[in-house]
């Protein structure tokens, strides 16, 4: 059984592209941590563990963003979860880490992506209401 993928609305594609950039940044952070361990400046255990978690998380986010951009409805949820987790990271950067500029910018970025995902067209597309026949639209 094959299903025909419907192209997502423009707002969903923009949210997918923005999340793709975030995921690339997370992978770059993991690579930077591994390079730091190879350089010998930090103990290997905890840093390599953190790098592994980042690779798994952002690797999944990369996959979800590509699938969302191509029109897979189910890929929207992992992108939303990623934004909510990163929003928590932004809050931590803003408050306890005393980096208000980074926290604010990160939080705004996450909120913008969530707004794009929850536009009216994006919600209709996610619920499958985009394939309504022309005769039903006039009612």
Model confidence at 131: pLDDT above 60: no
The verdict on residue 134 lying in a domain is no
The verdict on residue 106 lying in a domain is yes
Distance of CA 75 to the CA centre of its chain: 10
The verdict on residue 3 lying in a domain is no
The verdict on residue 135 lying in a domain is no
Measured between alpha carbons, how far is 136 from 126 in angstroms, rounded to an integer?
19
The pLDDT assigned to 3 comes to 60
Model confidence at 1: pLDDT above 70: no
Model confidence at 4: pLDDT above 70: no
Look up the pTM and report it: 0.84
The pLDDT assigned to 93 comes to 94
The verdict on residue 62 lying in a domain is yes
Mean pLDDT value across residues 6-17? 93
Model confidence at 12: pLDDT above 60: yes
Measured between alpha carbons, how far is 31 from 137 in angstroms, rounded to an integer?
50
Structural domain that includes position 55: 10-128
The pLDDT assigned to 82 comes to 95
The verdict on residue 16 lying in a domain is yes
Number of domains in the chain: 1
Question: What's the pLDDT tens digit per position in 50-83?
Answer: 999 999 999 999 999 999 999 998 899 999 999 9
Question: What's the pLDDT tens digit per position in 86-122?
Answer: 999 999 999 999 999 999 999 999 999 999 999 999 9
């Amino acid at each position: 059984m094959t299903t025909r993928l419907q192209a997502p609305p423009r707002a969903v594609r923009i949210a997918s592209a923005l999340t793709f950039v975030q995921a690339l940044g997370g992978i770059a952070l993991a690579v930077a941590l591994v390079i730091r361990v190879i350089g010998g400046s930090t103990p290997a255990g905890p840093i390599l563990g953190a790098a592994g978690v980042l690779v798994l998380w952002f690797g999944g986010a990369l996959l979800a963003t590509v699938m969302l951009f191509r029109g897979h409805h189910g890929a929207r949820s992992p992108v939303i979860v990623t934004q909510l987790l990163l929003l928590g990271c932004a809050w931590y950067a803003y408050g306890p880490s005393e980096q208000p500029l980074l926290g604010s910018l990160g939080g705004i970025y996450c909120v913008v992506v969530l707004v794009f995902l929850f536009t009216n067209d994006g919600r209709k597309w996610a619920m499958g209401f985009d394939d309504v026949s022309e005769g039903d639209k006039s009612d």
